[in-house]
């Protein structure tokens, strides 16, 4: 096929070829740790990065490679590195960019676990993070200094459903010679293409909508292939690498420099590898991604509109609502829909939230999102519990707020379950 290939076709066929040995049509699970070399010269060439191939499954595996190829195709990138979780993907995304004394600038509205990782874990590497309201573009630019090495945001923020102005943030990042890293987990490439909007790198928790069934954890980093890593700020990618006899990744691999580094250095040394069975489940999940996202979005719009009229509800943050300050931005950047993740503030406060969660029957009370099932969690007492009250409010996870991940069940059944739970919570 020489014409442009549509999303629905790519989500099924990208990265998937009949197995040359057996003719198997579905991508096999290559459950192996190592691969036989043709001869000594072949082994040496692989270890010298002079030839592409398989060495050891901590680095590369055919099932995982197929997933990486599919994700790169869907996001419009040149390559991808798959990891054991979304958190691993975040660390791996920044690892080639950072060093002791360097910092990143990130949105205040990130997922609570990400904020904890950026504030607590990263400082052990000598990295730091400055959090800013990314709607305040002047504040974003003011936070960038000579040691800043990345700008980080989410397409649709978890939990609040806020939509980031990716083109504006990309322009600021470009001006300062740093990459914009966008977590596209909650939007998926079906709803948003951050690379087309100017992002350098896209990260995912593949655990969520991409797999879509709550069975396996995983993460991925997709590289746009468009950034100049030789601008003087990124020695890991531009300067000689001692472990490979002075090889310069950007000079040697060009647009694929970041991807090759992520595999040859990141996975080799950090070992946060996705297992082949997880990759297989995610490949199968992606085959129906567009169909599922259409239903997720349709249900979310219907449920959010109903919730906004309920007397026990103080506010709904769904960006597809006319009342949302992000409605215009969502229509522009997310023309296929504003996702299916948002929060609901209850007039009854913390106690009403807890009672509502405990009263639901169809919804599952879990620390996850993006499942085919409708999910709920009270973020302030769980995923955002480690944050200060001020950080919780800034992240959209105040004590009177619950987060909903709307599934693909019958929309009327979702509303009926919420109705009975809200009645009990406000009794």
Q: Are residues 248 and 298 in the same domain?
A: no
Q: Are residues 269 and 339 in the same domain?
A: no
Q: Are residues 208 and 323 in the same domain?
A: no
Nearest-angstrom CA–CA distance, 344 and 404: 8
Q: Domain tally for the chain?
A: 2
**pLDDT exceeds cutoff 90 at 316:** yes
**Which pLDDT score, from 0 to 100, does residue 410 have?**
98
The last residue of one of the domains, among 285, 317, 348, is: 285
Nearest-angstrom CA–CA distance, 53 and 59: 10
Domain that holds residue 204: 7-285
Q: Are residues 22 and 100 in the same domain?
A: yes
Contact 313, 353 (CB under 8 A): no
Query: Cβ neighbours of residue 72 under 8 Å, at least 6 residues apart?
Result: 78, 79, 80, 222, 223
- For residue 1, is it within any domain? no
- For residue 177, is it within any domain? yes
**Which pLDDT score, from 0 to 100, does residue 393 have?**
78
**pLDDT exceeds cutoff 80 at 401:** yes
Q: Are residues 175 and 29 in the same domain?
A: yes
- For residue 333, is it within any domain? yes
Nearest-angstrom CA–CA distance, 274 and 77: 19
- For residue 2, is it within any domain? no
Q: Are residues 275 and 327 in the same domain?
A: no
Q: Are residues 123 and 220 in the same domain?
A: yes
Q: Are residues 356 and 273 in the same domain?
A: no
**Which pLDDT score, from 0 to 100, does residue 2 have?**
40
pLDDT tens per residue, range 372-397: 999 999 988 877 777 788 887 777 78
Pairing between β-strand 128-132 and β-strand 103-107 as defined by DSSP bridges = parallel
The last residue of one of the domains, among 285, 316, 347, is: 285
Q: Are residues 278 and 298 in the same domain?
A: no
What confidence tier does 1 reach under pLDDT thresholds 50, 70, 90?
very low
pLDDT tens per residue, range 199-239: 999 999 999 999 999 999 999 999 999 999 999 999 999 99
């Amino acid at each position: 096929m020489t014409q442009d290939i549509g999303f629905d076709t790519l989500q099924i066929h990208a990265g998937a070829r009949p197995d040359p040995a057996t003719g198997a049509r579905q991508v096999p699970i290559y459950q192996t740790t190592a691969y036989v070399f043709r001869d000594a010269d072949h082994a040496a060439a692989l270890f010298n990065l002079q030839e592409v191939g398989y060495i050891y499954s901590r680095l590369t595996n055919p099932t995982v490679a197929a997933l990486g190829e599919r994700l790169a195709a869907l996001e419009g990138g040149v390559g991808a590195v798959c990891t054991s979780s979304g958190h691993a993907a975040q660390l791996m995304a920044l690892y080639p960019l950072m060093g002791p004394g360097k910092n990143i600038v990130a949105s205040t509205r990130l997922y609570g676990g990400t904020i904890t990782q950026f504030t607590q874990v990263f400082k052990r590497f000598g990295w730091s993070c400055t959090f800013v309201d990314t709607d305040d573009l002047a504040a974003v630019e003011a936070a960038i200094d000579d040691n800043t090495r990345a700008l980080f945001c989410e397409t649709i923020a978890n939990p609040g459903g806020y939509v980031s102005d990716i083109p504006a943030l990309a322009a600021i990042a470009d001006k300062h010679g740093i990459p914009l890293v966008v977590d596209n987990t909650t939007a998926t490439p079906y709803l948003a293409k951050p690379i087309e909007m100017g992002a350098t790198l896209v990260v995912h928790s593949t655990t969520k909508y991409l797999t879509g069934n709550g069975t396996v954890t995983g993460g991925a980093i997709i590289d746009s292939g468009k950034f100049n890593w030789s601008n003087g700020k990124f020695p890991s990618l531009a300067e000689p690498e001692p472990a490979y006899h002075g090889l310069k990744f950007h000079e040697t691999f060009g647009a694929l420099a970041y991807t090759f580094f992520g595999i040859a250095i990141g996975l080799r040394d950090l070992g946060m590898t996705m297992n082949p069975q997880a990759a297989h489940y995610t490949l199968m999940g992606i085959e129906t991604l567009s169909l599922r996202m259409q239903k997720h979005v349709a249900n979310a719009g219907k449920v959010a509109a109903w919730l906004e009229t309920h007397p026990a509800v103080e506010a709904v943050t769904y960006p597809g609502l006319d009342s949302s300050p992000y409605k215009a931005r969502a229509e522009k950047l997310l023309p296929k829909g504003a996702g299916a993740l948002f929060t609901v503030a209850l007039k009854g406060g913390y106690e009403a939230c807890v009672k509502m969660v405990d009263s639901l029957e169809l919804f599952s009370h879990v620390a996850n999102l993006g499942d085919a099932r409708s999910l709920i969690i009270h973020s302030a007492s769980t995923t955002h519990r480690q944050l200060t009250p001020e950080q919780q409010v800034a992240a959209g996870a105040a004590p009177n707020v619950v987060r909903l991940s709307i599934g693909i069940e019958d929309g009327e059944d979702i509303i009926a379950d919420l109705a009975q739970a809200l009645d009990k919570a406000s009794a």
